[in-house]
Every structure is written in structure tokens, then in C-alpha cells.
Amino acid sequence: MNTINKLLATTAFLALSNSAFATVATYNITTTWFEPDTQPKNTYFVGSFNYDSTTKTITSLAGKLSEAMTGSVNYNASTGINGADNMTWLSLNYQLVSWYDASLGGTFAATFKNNSTNTFWTGAGGNGWSPASGVAAGGIYYGFPSAGANPGNAYALIFVPDNPLTVLTQAQINKLAYADCSAGGIMGASCMTGTSASGYGSVGTMSGYPLSQVISMTTVPVPEPETYAMLLLGLAFMGLSSRQKTLSR
């Protein structure tokens, strides 16, 4: 076996061994909560995640959450974070929860500012972070009444349909939520939240509610099955041509 064949074989092996990950793709996501009280600014979560279409699991959900009560100019997607807007953005880098919802046909995931889900006051029950427990707690921060005990957490809860690129239904949008208990999101003892009345029984503490979510393929591709196929073809073509060169000599 000459070197070309060795190369081809190695490439084929690599492609094959990669096939275990072949269904994982990376997506960009922008989720918008409408904030009637802070117009024209809204709350945005702008981030990315990896999605495994075989197992329907979300990993590495991370991104930034805008604080609509800071700054004076709204986020503009075409100029990017802090391109036009002057809002404060929080980094949410800890995807701590995710689950599949068969009835809605998709996967939920929430990414947090802290490496902990502690967000809301637990005096009214609840798990301290879910939108429902946030509504029950009146959006009051974890550790209340001691302001010093507030860990200042924040999160965005997103939903990825089984086919990530399909447009969300209203029922799916209704379940999107965010909470911001960090310094810039606090109103009295209430965190700024965004929830829908139909999804969780109440709009957010500043009347915010989920408006839309857009998921797109990432434009800086991590190699995907097609890419591997292309690579394979390309290499095969190279191999063939070099072989033909050898033969014609």
C-alpha cells in the first residue's frame, strides 16, 4: 500500500470513527422577550448550543442576556452585542438543566450566570429557579430578605424543536423564560423576569413576556457529516488524480 492509499485509509477511518458525532450540530440562537415598560429596549438572549438530533439533547448552551433596564438604545442583531445598543449584557455560560418535552415536541435547556441554579426565593416553595417557582415567589431573589445573600443569578430558558430550524409554535414560545437577579436586574427585591401568562400564569415582573426565538445554523461550521463527505471526496479526488499521474508516467 502506497502512501496515498495509507492516507485514504486513514481519512476513511477518521470519517467512520467520527460518525458517532455525525448528528451533532451547532446552532446560533436569539430569543426575544418583549418589555413593554422599557421600550424600545427588550430582553435578548444571544447564544449558541450544540444539538444532537439523534438523542435530542442540548449541550454547551451559552450566550449573553441583555438587561433592558440598563442603557438607552435597543439591541440590533446586524451590529451585534453592544454594536448599537448600550445595554449591559450578562454572560450565561452554565447549562445546568435540560429536558425533553414530548408533548411540545422539543428540548428545553437553561443556561445560568452562576454555576448553580439558585435564583429565586424558595420561601414560597419551588425549586428556586423554574419560571413557575419564580412566579410563585413574586420574582423575589434567592436568599431574601438578606440582599447580601442574593447570589445575583440569571438564566435563559430556551426551547429547541425536534427539527431545530422549524419556526416555534405559540405554545412553544409561551414556555420560554428568563430571569435576571443580578444587580442590574433587581427591582426592589424582585428580579426582572420574562414569562407568559399562558405559559406560567403571569407575565414577568416588569410585564415582559417571550416574543420570539430564532435558531440558525452556525456560520462558522464545525465539520458536519456533509463536510466530512466533501473532505472524503476531495481527498479521494486528490488520491485518484495523483494515482493517475503516477500511472501516466
Binding site for other proteins (CB under 8 A): 36-40, 67, 69-72, 86-88, 121, 123-124, 135-140, 144-145, 147-148, 150, 182-190, 192, 197, 200-203, 205-207
Cα dist from 231 to 10, 24, 224, whole Å:
12, 18, 10
Helices (H), 97-224: 131-136, 170-173, 197-200
Cα dist from 159 to 97, 107, 174, 213, whole Å:
12, 6, 10, 9
CB of 132 to other proteins, least distance (A): 9
Q: Please check whether residue 125 is in contact with residue 136, taking contact to mean a CB–CB distance below 8 angstroms.
A: yes
CB of 186 to other proteins, least distance (A): 5
Closest-CA residue to 103 (of 158, 176, 171, 177): 171
Q: Measured from the CB atom, is 35 or 112 closer to other proteins?
A: 35
CB of 84 to other proteins, least distance (A): 14
Q: Measured from the CB atom, is 49 or 121 closer to other proteins?
A: 121
Q: Please check whether residue 175 is in contact with residue 108, taking contact to mean a CB–CB distance below 8 angstroms.
A: yes
CB of 159 to other proteins, least distance (A): 21
Q: Measured from the CB atom, is 98 or 150 closer to other proteins?
A: 150
Q: Measured from the CB atom, is 63 or 138 closer to other proteins?
A: 138
The three-class DSSP label of residue 150 is coil
CB of 20 to other proteins, least distance (A): 45
Q: Measured from the CB atom, is 31 or 150 closer to other proteins?
A: 150
| Residue with grid cell 488520491, as numbered in its chain | 239
CB of 139 to other proteins, least distance (A): 7
Q: Measured from the CB atom, is 111 or 195 closer to other proteins?
A: 195
Rounded to a whole number of angstroms, the CA Rg of the chain reads: 23
